[in-house]
A and B are shown apart, each in its own frame.
Chain A
Amino acid sequence: MLKNFAGSIALAGAIATLSATALHAQMAAKVDKPVTITFYNYNLASASAGADATRDLIREFMALNPNITVKGVPVPSNEILSRVQADMAAGQQPDVAQLVFRDLIYIANDLGANALEDMVPKQELAAHFTGMIPQGLELGKVDGKTYGLAYTFSTPILYYNADLFRQAGLDPDKPPRTWAEVKSAGEAIRQKTGKHGFFPGAYGPVDGTFVYQAIAMSNGGQVRNGNKLTFADGEGMEAVSMLREMVDSGAHARIDVASPGDTMASGNLGMFLYTSALQSSLLKSAEGKFELRVAAMPAFGEKATRPTNSGSALFVLSQDPQKQRASYELLKFLTDRHAYTIITTKIGYLPLRLDIVDDPNYLAGWVAEHPMIRPNLEQLNRLTANVAFPGPNYRQVEKMMMDGVREAIFGKGDAVKTLQTAQTDAQRLMPR
């Protein structure tokens, strides 16, 4: 066992040196011979408009770049990181991957994703970044370097069922703007219609942490400060206690955390805080049954909200200079004006380039027809990056936090004590 141990340390050392040299090798200037790259993508893994749009984009890209073949690898979003990791372990180096923000630090530090600043010549990168909103570029940065380029992302918006509002004696033209208003509206819906009041898409297995973090941060809370966990402290704790009070008062529903979207779609939920990506499918289900409307995410009193991003970024994992160039070309294509137009109109995410919103060549016509995207575009100005956790146990830490949050909100015990216990337990798994 000891020999083995020494061996693996030596091996790790060798690999570390190797990857250090690889890091400084810049990608090729252009792709001059045929090359095939893999693209791990989760939109491809579900039967949806997103899959069709993604396939179209890949096809267009290949037509423009005849030397590059892109092989899409469809993997559901909650498994995509394990798959990338398993393939690396199996010696099948992935090239480009669409991964979620919660794994950001791990992807940068452990998976060996390429920092764009190290891989791409300065001017070239600057040219591509021109026109992107700085808050959006911030999302994929670790220690000042860009590892992920925000791809399909969104912020939480409040969907509401205008019919339930009317039945509960509320004015659907005045959707709740603060949490206090959400609470009273939720109670009214619960009591007058017997349906569910409010629910955030914050607790499900594929929800990540973005809705929860958006709520906590809007109150001024933080899930961590450096390597110190702070999700059970101060304003963050207040936010959770507020949700707990809403559960106790009946304003906040107790429904299947994995499928609140279904409850909303079937007309049984009054207010639903979740990503705009659900908009088109909710609209379709609501058609002819109830009137669906959207509003900005609620605020804590007069504090400005700090909407956090959901969704994914694109990462380049290739080590080969030719493939790196091909991957970067794909990245550029997928984060340019044309692709963002498709992503916004077909998949339902937000454009990282606001200059296309009023450009008639891109989004202007569509936005005019779909005013429901406005609250979400408006929130982009206050976009606050989702906080990922560091260290080898980050997933476990995140899971313990979310378990603690669920227990604090839905459990029987004292919310503060529950979340503090979770924080103490999870702190042990954080890097020191």
Chain B
Amino acid sequence: MTDTTAGTLAFPRDRARPRSTSGRWHKLSTPWIYLAPALLTLIVWVYAPLLEAFQLSFYRWNMLPSSPKRFVGLDNYIDLLTLPEMHIALGNTAIYILGLFPMSVLLPLAIAIFTQNLAGRARTVYRTLIFVPMIIAPVVAAIIWRWVLNEDHGLLNEALSGLGLTRIGFLIDPDYALGTLIWITGWKLIGFSTLLFSAANGSINPSYVEAARMDGATPWQITRDIRIPLLSPTILLLSMMTILFGAQWSFTYINVLTGGGPLKSTTNIFYLLWDYGFGSHSVGWSSAAGMIAFAGFTIIALACLRLMKRHTVYDN
């Protein structure tokens, strides 16, 4: 089950089964009729605006029908790439992604293996509870965390000061804010990832483990040499999801909680392009930043897929 999703983004190169041969030529239009609803929706609401943005990324314009669009060639891109703000945003995008790894991959993997022997009612209860953050709306999550993390009357800081520690400006101290937003993003994911790993781990054929044990393998060796390689499709899947979408998942929290601050410490590429578009009406910059993000993540996605194809291990 887990490896199907991993392959999802790539079109299968060959198919094992024969196709219906009848009417391949005179029914050329049939597939398009079936594709039309989905394809038209995506073309009208995703690709057409994307193309428009591509075009606008070469203009300077403030969105008003009454003001002229000025063609500026590559200026928007050049401006962006030289702006310190963009460097911070790109750097932070990488930090968001890397920072999410422990919570979306490493910790869940460790927990899944560590708790693999749990059974019965307790297991069901844990499963039910740790998954809850995943279904909470991001904007609600943002509101809750702002409430819990407030420096003066937030629960967490009251607890810290109760323990005799100093209060921390989780959302207002530039040294902590980025980490806090990563934590909130990861908070929603950690239960989900843990369950995904548990499922994959549980589906490992017990005879492999048993055989290794017979040969005198220590639990650590079993984990390292059997479980982790067999879990690699899930590891790769979650890693890829984190890389491709991690920075985007943080967007709601940046937007609602910090507005990219304090001192730009929490901004990322998605927030930057939003801010140029909606905050300062610089459509050209916003579009150019959007193109950079889209192209960048597309290249990363293709690279990931290649890597995945090469390294997938099958448990069959």
| Residues of A participating in the B interface, judged by any CB pair closer than 8 Å | 1-2, 4-5, 8-9, 12, 15-16, 19, 79, 82, 85-86, 88-89, 91, 110-112, 196, 205, 254-259, 262-263, 266, 268-269, 392-393, 395-396, 399, 403, 406-407, 410-411
Alpha-carbon separation in the docked complex, A19 to B65 (Å): 11
Alpha-carbon separation in the docked complex, A335 to B296 (Å): 52
Provide a sorted-by-A list of 18 A–B residue pairs whose CB atoms are within 8 angstroms. A2-B71, A4-B71, A8-B68, A9-B68, A85-B63, A85-B64, A85-B281, A86-B63, A89-B64, A91-B65, A110-B64, A254-B172, A257-B262, A258-B258, A263-B151, A269-B152, A395-B281, A396-B280
Q: A15-B65, A88-B65 are in contact. Are A403 and B264 (CB under 8 A)?
A: yes
Within 8 A of A (CB), among B147-164: 150-153
Q: Which 8 A-B pairs have the closest CB atoms?
A: A12-B68, A395-B280, A268-B152, A5-B71, A205-B259, A396-B280, A256-B172, A8-B69
Q: In the complex, what's the smallest C-beta–C-beta distance from B68 to chain A, in angstroms?
A: 4
Q: In the complex, what's the smallest C-beta–C-beta distance from A340 to chain B, in angstroms?
A: 32
Contact across chains for A196 and B64 when beta carbons are under 8 A apart: no
Chain B contact residue count (CB 8 A cutoff): 33
Alpha-carbon separation in the docked complex, A16 to B151 (Å): 52
Given A89-B64, A257-B262; 12 other pairs, CB 8 A cutoff: A15-B66, A79-B278, A86-B63, A110-B66, A254-B172, A256-B150, A256-B169, A256-B172, A258-B258, A268-B153, A396-B280, A399-B279
Contact across chains for A255 and B282 when beta carbons are under 8 A apart: no
- For the complex, is B67 an interface residue (Cβ under 8 Å from A)? yes
B169's nearest neighbour on chain A, judged by CB, is A254
- For the complex, is B171 an interface residue (Cβ under 8 Å from A)? yes
Q: In the complex, what's the smallest C-beta–C-beta distance from A311 to chain B, in angstroms?
A: 20
Alpha-carbon separation in the docked complex, A429 to B281 (Å): 13
Q: In the complex, what's the smallest C-beta–C-beta distance from B19 to chain A, in angstroms?
A: 43
Greatest chain A CB density within 10 A among B60, B69, B151, B280 is at: B280
Q: In the complex, what's the smallest C-beta–C-beta distance from A264 to chain B, in angstroms?
A: 10
A269's nearest neighbour on chain B, judged by CB, is B152
Alpha-carbon separation in the docked complex, A12 to B62 (Å): 13
Alpha-carbon separation in the docked complex, A268 to B55 (Å): 51
Residues of B within 8 A of A4 (CB): 55, 71
Residues of A within 8 A of B152 (CB): 196, 255, 262-263, 266, 268-269
Contact across chains for A257 and B71 when beta carbons are under 8 A apart: no
Q: A110-B64, A111-B64, A256-B171 are in contact. Are A406 and B278 (CB under 8 A)?
A: no
- For the complex, is B133 an interface residue (Cβ under 8 Å from A)? no
Consensus secondary structure, chain B interface = loop
Residues of A within 8 A of B279 (CB): 82, 395, 399
Q: In the complex, what's the smallest C-beta–C-beta distance from A71 to chain B, in angstroms?
A: 22
Q: In the complex, what's the smallest C-beta–C-beta distance from A108 to chain B, in angstroms?
A: 13
Q: A15-B66, A85-B63 are in contact. Are A406 and B150 (CB under 8 A)?
A: no
Alpha-carbon separation in the docked complex, A110 to B62 (Å): 9
Q: Mark B229-262, 1 if CB is under 8 A from A, else 0.
A: 0000000000000000000000000000011011
Q: Mark B55-79, 1 if CB is under 8 A from A, else 0.
A: 1001010111111110100000000
Residues of A within 8 A of B174 (CB): 410
Q: B261 is contacted by which of A88, A259, A406 (Cβ under 8 Å)?
A: A406
Alpha-carbon separation in the docked complex, A399 to B58 (Å): 23
Residues of B within 8 A of A407 (CB): 263
Residues of B within 8 A of A111 (CB): 64
Q: A12-B68, A82-B281 are in contact. Are A262 and B150 (CB under 8 A)?
A: yes
Greatest chain B CB density within 10 A among A85, A112, A256 is at: A256
Contact across chains for B261 and A393 when beta carbons are under 8 A apart: no
Contact across chains for A19 and B66 when beta carbons are under 8 A apart: yes
- For the complex, is B225 an interface residue (Cβ under 8 Å from A)? no
Q: Mark B164-176, 1 if CB is under 8 A from A, else 0.
A: 0000010111100
Residues of A within 8 A of B261 (CB): 205, 257, 406
Residues of B within 8 A of A392 (CB): 60, 62, 67
Contact across chains for A399 and B259 when beta carbons are under 8 A apart: no
Q: In the complex, what's the smallest C-beta–C-beta distance from A235 to chain B, in angstroms?
A: 25
Residues of B within 8 A of A15 (CB): 65-66
Alpha-carbon separation in the docked complex, A50 to B67 (Å): 34
Residues of B within 8 A of A255 (CB): 151-152, 169, 172
Contact across chains for B263 and A406 when beta carbons are under 8 A apart: yes
Alpha-carbon separation in the docked complex, A254 to B169 (Å): 8
Q: A16-B66, A88-B64, A410-B262 are in contact. Are A257 and B153 (CB under 8 A)?
A: no
Q: In the complex, what's the smallest C-beta–C-beta distance from B149 to chain A, in angstroms?
A: 9
B277's nearest neighbour on chain A, judged by CB, is A82
Q: B282 is contacted by which of A256, A257, A396, A403 (Cβ under 8 Å)?
A: A396
Within 8 A of A (CB), among B120-160: 146, 150-153
Alpha-carbon separation in the docked complex, A377 to B66 (Å): 40
Alpha-carbon separation in the docked complex, A160 to B2 (Å): 59
Q: B263 is contacted by which of A19, A112, A266, A410 (Cβ under 8 Å)?
A: A410
Contact across chains for A256 and B153 when beta carbons are under 8 A apart: no
Residues of B within 8 A of A406 (CB): 261-263
Q: In the complex, what's the smallest C-beta–C-beta distance from B280 to chain A, in angstroms?
A: 4
Q: A266-B152, A268-B153, A396-B280 are in contact. Are A258 and B259 (CB under 8 A)?
A: yes
Q: In the complex, what's the smallest C-beta–C-beta distance from B305 to chain A, in angstroms?
A: 33
Residues of B within 8 A of A12 (CB): 66-69
B258's nearest neighbour on chain A, judged by CB, is A258
Alpha-carbon separation in the docked complex, A257 to B64 (Å): 32
Alpha-carbon separation in the docked complex, A5 to B278 (Å): 24
Alpha-carbon separation in the docked complex, A350 to B279 (Å): 28
Residues of B within 8 A of A259 (CB): 146, 150
Q: A1 is contacted by which of B71, B153, B280 (Cβ under 8 Å)?
A: B71
A18's nearest neighbour on chain B, judged by CB, is B66
Q: A266 is contacted by which of B68, B153, B280 (Cβ under 8 Å)?
A: B153
B170's nearest neighbour on chain A, judged by CB, is A256
Q: In the complex, what's the smallest C-beta–C-beta distance from B156 to chain A, in angstroms?
A: 14
